[in-house]
């Protein structure tokens, strides 16, 4: 749990007694590859902190399979809108490789927020960082060319090329698998 605290300190530093309360609501879980943690239509009850592995959030129906994002070491994961609003999810969440995560329940986190303004502040700061990340992703998808999106991805997360099937990376970058393959062969950083 020392690594967990180090990662949390990037967001907000809790005093030792508060940290013990925060740490107590998280349970370690190991999950096999290919497990669907959340299905479309279910209410997200859990938030995850990824210690090892990769999770994929995606939308899927009869015609579409769109990857919205990945969570990997040091990231929070889950379906945020469903979790925070306790409403049915529009998305799926799955493990792409075996994962080690810390997991907490919505009810536990809400009780913690009520117990101290420090926990509320921590939650707000994490939510703000998530919002900033989603905004950056929106701009990338709407304003940049396929090659620019590919270069941004390579600069931010090159290690994912070895962990994630190319079809999911192409979907995440909103391009065809053929375009993704061409860019891998031709783009130099």
Distance CA 57, CA 92 (A): 6
CB 134 within 8 A of CB 69: no
Q: How confident is the model at residue 189 (pLDDT cuts 50, 70, 90)?
A: low
Q: How confident is the model at residue 1 (pLDDT cuts 50, 70, 90)?
A: confident
Distance CA 50, CA 58 (A): 17
Domain that holds residue 23: 2-116
Q: Does residue 78 form part of some domain?
A: yes
Q: Does residue 99 form part of some domain?
A: yes
Averaged pLDDT of the chain: 92
Q: Does residue 159 form part of some domain?
A: no
pLDDT of residue 127: 85
CB 119 within 8 A of CB 112: yes
Q: What's the CATH code of the domain at 44? A: 2.60.120.10
Per-residue model confidence as pLDDT tens digits over 161-183: 989 999 999 999 999 999 999 99
Per-residue model confidence as pLDDT tens digits over 47-63: 999 999 999 999 998 88
Q: Does residue 107 form part of some domain?
A: yes
Who contacts 94 (Cβ-Cβ below 8 Å, separation ≥6)?
Answer: 34, 35, 36, 37, 55, 56, 58
CB 141 within 8 A of CB 81: no
Q: How many structural domains are present in the chain? A: 1
Q: Does residue 132 form part of some domain?
A: no
DSSP letters for 82-95 = HHHHT-B-SSEEEE
């Amino acid at each position: 749990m020392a690594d967990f605290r180090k990662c949390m300190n990037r967001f907000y530093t809790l005093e030792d007694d508060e940290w013990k309360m925060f740490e107590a609501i998280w349970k370690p879980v190991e999950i096999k590859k290919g497990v669907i943690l959340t299905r479309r239509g279910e209410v997200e009850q859990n938030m995850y902190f990824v210690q090892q592995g990769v999770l994929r959030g995606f939308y899927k129906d009869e015609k579409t399979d769109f990857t919205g994002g990945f969570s990997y070491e040091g990231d929070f994961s889950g379906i945020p809108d469903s979790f925070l609003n306790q409403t049915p999810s529009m998305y799926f969440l799955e493990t792409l490789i075996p994962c080690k995560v810390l997991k907490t329940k919505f009810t536990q986190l809400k009780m913690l927020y009520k117990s101290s303004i420090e926990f509320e502040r921590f939650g707000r700061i994490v939510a703000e960082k998530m919002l900033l990340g989603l905004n950056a992703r929106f701009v990338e998808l709407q304003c940049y060319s396929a090659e620019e999106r590919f270069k941004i991805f390579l600069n931010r997360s090159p290690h994912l090329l070895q962990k994630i099937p190319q079809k999911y990376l192409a979907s995440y970058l909103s391009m065809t698998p053929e375009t993704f393959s061409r860019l891998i062969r031709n783009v130099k950083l």
